[in-house]
Amino acid sequence: MFRKLGFTMIELLIVIAVLGILAVAVLASINPIEQINRGRDTGSRSDAEQLISAVDRFYASKGYYPWQLGATSTNYATYPTGTPAFVALDSLSKSVGVDAQPMLTKLSTAGTEELKSSFTTRISNTTQTNTLSIFNRGTAGSSTYVCFIPKSSSFREEAWIRCTNVAHTGRSTTLPADYPGSVATAGDLACPDTACATAGTSTVATGCYICLP
């Protein structure tokens, strides 16, 4: 006679329970949502770099920025009027600056072909990516910044660390003078106090912007 060997029901349940615990531990350590958000933030950073490069190339070839009418325009700032502010690039035809020029259209194949039209269409689609915003203070020598609000904790920490150096009471002034929000009269753009710099820790600083360069 042959003796039949096998696992009992209890043994199988124990193995399944152990595998479940291990799976939960692995997922907790990997944190797939964080990885997805980090990937999106990395993509947004890359898009911001490409956009800044395109603006620089446009300026080098034309002698004026893509939000200006021409070389004789003195409207260097990206915001229309009043207090300095971000301009969200959430549509191809979005008007930028006092001259109200559709910057993304002028940079794409419909203008100077500094950027592919597929790229400008994608970054202006707010349902698929972090919305990019542009800022140039408009004074002589001011840099052009492209900013976005990060989703992942690692990028939020990076933004928060930079924002804690903004020129507010009790903080140092290591940010560039033309940085969004680094001038008292400009308000808190990249580093709003209520959602970022006074949050105390980077884990709750959800309002800090990543600004390039």
Which of 173, 207, 202 is closest to 188 using CA atoms? Answer: 207
> Where in the chain are the domains?
37-212
Between 52-56, 115-119, 156-160, 194-198, the lowest mean confidence (pLDDT) is in 194-198
Q: State the average pLDDT over residues 77-105.
A: 90
What three-state secondary structure class fits 63? coil
pLDDT band at 37 (very low <50, low <70, confident <90, very high): confident
* C-beta separation of 44 from 132 below 8 A: yes
Using the predicted structure, report yes or no on whether residue 187 has a pLDDT greater than 50: no
Q: Chain-centre distance of CA 106, in angstroms?
A: 22
**All residues at 6 or more sequence positions from 192 whose CB lies less than 8 Å from its CB, including other chains:** 181, 207
pLDDT band at 144 (very low <50, low <70, confident <90, very high): very high
User: What pLDDT score was predicted for residue 15?
Assistant: 80
List the alpha helices (DSSP H) in the chain.
Answer: 9-30, 32-62, 103-107, 117-123, 153-163
User: What pLDDT score was predicted for residue 148?
Assistant: 92
End-to-end CA distance of the chain: 80
pLDDT band at 1 (very low <50, low <70, confident <90, very high): low
Q: Which residue has the tokens 């940079």?
A: 107
Beta pairing class for 210-212 and 145-148: antiparallel
* C-beta separation of 24 from 185 below 8 A: no
Between 15-24, 26-35, 78-87, the lowest mean confidence (pLDDT) is in 26-35
Using the predicted structure, report yes or no on whether residue 95 has a pLDDT greater than 90: yes
Q: State the average pLDDT over residues 33-48.
A: 89
